[in-house]
Amino acid sequence: MRSAVRYMLATLLFSSVFALGFAHAEDKPELELKFPGEAPAHRVVYQLNKADPTYQEHILFSAGAMVRKYGDNIKIVIVAIGPGIHTLAKKPKRPVSEEIKQRIRSLNEYGVEFHACGNTMKTQGWKDEDMLSLAKVVEVGAADLMELQEQGYSYISW
């Protein structure tokens, strides 16, 4: 008799857990909610390493699309290295359109971080004060990309 009761209880427990799993999966919204103080569920890092305006626009547009889709539930970092560093300079040595500059400022207002490669800055003869105030200067841009990925950031290649 005891084994029959154990079997019935085990079956009931298993089916309840199984049913709850399906109910939870069906109720899950597409956009996960984030509570104040909670870390974003999604983390993305882009590499901005070309001077080509079309390339730069694509990366910035993609970052904006991610902000629109996930809102506060995403953390985005754009690491500028090589020729891409000019987008974060106060007085770039290569042309940077006003549209690119405005998009960078706008994305930053929505929480997108911009990291400037210190090594590339040295090759340009730039100091921290030569960069836009929104730029966070990192020692080595490539190392920053690697470390962010080690922290769980997804690397988006363009």
- Cα–Cα dist 43/154, whole Å: 6
Q: Which residues contact 7 (CB under 8 A, 6 or more apart)?
A: none
CA-closest candidate to residue 42, choices 155, 153, 124, 156: 153
Q: What is the pLDDT of residue 67?
A: 98
Decide: 41 and 152 in contact? Cβ < 8 Å: no
Per-residue pLDDT at 60 exceeds 50: yes
Q: Which amino acid is at 8?
A: M
CATH of domain 34-156: 3.40.1260.10
74-80 and 135-138 beta bridge pairing? unpaired
- Where would I find the beta strands (DSSP E) of the chain? 42-48, 74-80, 113-117, 135-138, 154-156
Q: What is the pLDDT of residue 25?
A: 43
Predicted confidence band at 17 (pLDDT cuts at 50, 70, 90)? very low
**Domains of the chain: which residue ranges?**
1-30, 34-156
Q: What is the pLDDT of residue 110?
A: 97
Per-residue pLDDT at 14 exceeds 50: no
User: Which pLDDT tens digit goes with each residue over 18-39?
Assistant: 444 444 444 434 555 556 667 8
Predicted confidence band at 112 (pLDDT cuts at 50, 70, 90)? very high
CA-closest candidate to residue 61, choices 72, 49, 73, 48: 48
Angle between helix 53-70 and helix 98-109 axes, rounded to 10 deg: 20
Q: Which amino acid is at 119?
A: N
User: Which pLDDT tens digit goes with each residue over 66-106?
Assistant: 999 999 999 999 999 999 999 999 999 999 999 999 999 99
Per-residue pLDDT at 6 exceeds 80: no
Q: What is the pLDDT of residue 36?
A: 65
Q: Which tokens sit at 87? A: 């987008």
Q: What is the pLDDT of residue 35?
A: 62
| Cα angle: 74, vertex 148, 49; to 5 degrees | 95
